[in-house]
Structure 1
Amino acid sequence: MSRMVLRRFMARKAITATAVVAAVAATTALTAPVVSAAENAPEAAQACAMQILPIPEGYQSTRVTGMSNDGSVIAYRAVSPDPEGPRPKQFLYSDGEVSEVPMLRDYTTIQDVNAAGVGVGGGWISPKYVPYVWRDGQMSELPNEEGGWAYAINAKGDIVGSLDRDGTSIPVRWPADGTGPVDLALPEGKERGMATGIGNDGTIVGEVMVERDNSGNPKPYMWRADGSGTYLAMPEGADLADVAVGVTDIKGDWASGWLVAPGVGYGGVRWNLAKGTAEVVDLDDWVAVSANGTVASHLRDSPIAAYQSGKTIVELPGLLDPADNTSKDNVVAISADASLLAGDVFIGGYDAEEQPLTNAVTWTCG
Structure 2
Amino acid sequence: MSNTQRFKRPRALIAGSALALAASVAALPQAASAAPEGEECVLQELPMPKGLYFSVVTGMSAEGSVIAYRAYPAGMSSDERYPYLYEDGEATAVPIPGADQILTDVNEDGLAVGASWVDGVQRPYAFEDGELRELASNDGGAATGVNDDGVIVGIAGQGPTVPVKWVPGQEKPVELPLPKGATEGGARAIDGDGTIVGSYDDGAGTSVPYVWHPDGSGEELRLPEGVDPATVVAYYPSAVAGEWAVGYLLTQDSENAVRWNLEDGTAEVLELNYAEGINEDGTVAGTVDPIAAVADEGGGVTYLPGLVDPAENWFGDMAADVSEDGELLAGQVFAGEDEYGYHVLKAVTWDCD
Structure-2 residue corresponding to 1:102: 95
Matched residue, 1:9: 5
- Which residue of the partner structure matches residue 62 of structure 2? 69
Comparing 172-181 with 308-317, which one deviates more in the overlay? 172-181
Q: 1:184 aligns to what?
A: 176
Indicate the residue corresponding to 1:5 in structure 2.
Answer: none
> How far did 1:242 drift?
5.9
- Alpha-carbon shift at residue 351 of structure 1 (Å): 7.8
**SS at 1:9's partner residue?**
coil
* 1:203-218 pair list within 5 angstroms: 203-211=195-203, 213-214=204-205, 217-218=206-207
Name the SS of the counterpart of 2:306 in structure 1.
coil
Q: Report the equivalent of 1:307.
A: 294
Alignment of 1:109-124 (within 5 A): 109-124=102-117
Distance 2:102 2:166 in 1: 18
SS at match of 2:51: coil
- Which residues in structure 2 correspond to 1:124-163 (within 5 Å)? 124-163=117-156
Match of 1:237 among 226, 242, 263: 226
- Alignment pair present for 1:254 and 2:254: no
Report the Cα offset of residue 224 of structure 1. 0.7
Query: For the residues of structure 2 that align with 1:140 and 1:329, how far apart are their CA atoms?
Result: 33
Deviations 1:233-282 (A, max 9, x none): 321113567643111011111100011346x7421000111121111001
TM-score normalised by the chain length of structure 2: 0.87
CA gap of 1:143–1:15, structure 2 versus 1, over 3 A, is farther
Distance 1:15 1:186 in 2: 30
Per the alignment, residue 276 of structure 1 pairs with 265
The answer on whether the counterparts of 1:267 and 1:285 sit within 8 Å (CA) in structure 2 is yes
Q: Residue 280 of structure 2 corresponds to which residue in structure 1?
A: 291
2:71 to 67, 78, 82: 78
Contact 1:12 1:246 in 2 (8 A): no
**How far apart are 1:145 and its partner, in Å?**
1.4
C-alpha distance in 1, partners of 2:140/2:74? 30
Flag the 1:15–1:330 CA change in 2: closer, same or farther, 3 A. closer
Superposition CA RMSD, Å = 2.9
Letter in 1 for 2:301: I
Residue identity opposite 1:73 in structure 2: V
| Aligned mates of 1:160, 1:183 — CA distance in 2 | 10
The correspondence for 1:58, drawn from 51, 61, 66, is 51
Structure 2 equivalent of residue 3 of structure 1: none
* Corresponding residue of 1:90: 83
Shift of 1:326: 1.8
Distance 1:69 1:351, change over 3 A: farther
Q: CA deviation at 1:333?
A: 1.3
> Is 1:219–1:240's contact at 8 Å kept on the other side of the alignment?
no
CA drift of 1:356 comes to 2.5
SS in 2 for 1:107: strand
- Residue 361 of structure 1 and its aligned partner are, at CA, apart by 0.3
Gaps of 5+ in 2: 21-26
The share of aligned pairs that are identical, in percent, is 39
Cα distance in structure 1, aligned partners of 2:195 and 2:35: 37
2: CA distance, partners of 1:261 / 1:102: 39
Q: 1:225 to 1:85 in 2, by over 3 A?
A: closer
SS in 2 for 1:323: helix
CA–CA distance in structure 2, aligned partners of residues 251 and 175 of structure 1: 19
Q: CA deviation at 1:332?
A: 1.2
Output the amino acid matched with 2:173.
Answer: P
Question: Which of 326, 337, 344 lines up with 1:338 in the alignment?
Answer: 326
Tell me which amino acid in the other structure corresponds to 1:360. A
Following superposition, the deviation at residue 180 of structure 1 comes to 2.9
Residue 38 to residue 347, structure 1, CA distance change in 2 (3 Å): closer
Aligned mate of 1:201, from 189, 193, 205: 193
Which stretch of structure 1 is more off in the superposition, 196-205 or 73-82?
A: 73-82
Rounded Cα–Cα distance in structure 2 between residues aligned with 1:86 and 1:163: 23
Counterparts of 1:327 and 1:14 in 2: how far apart (Å)? 12
**1:168 maps to what in 2?**
160
Moved more, 172-181 or 218-227: 172-181
Give me the TM-score of the superposition, normalised by structure 1. Answer: 0.84
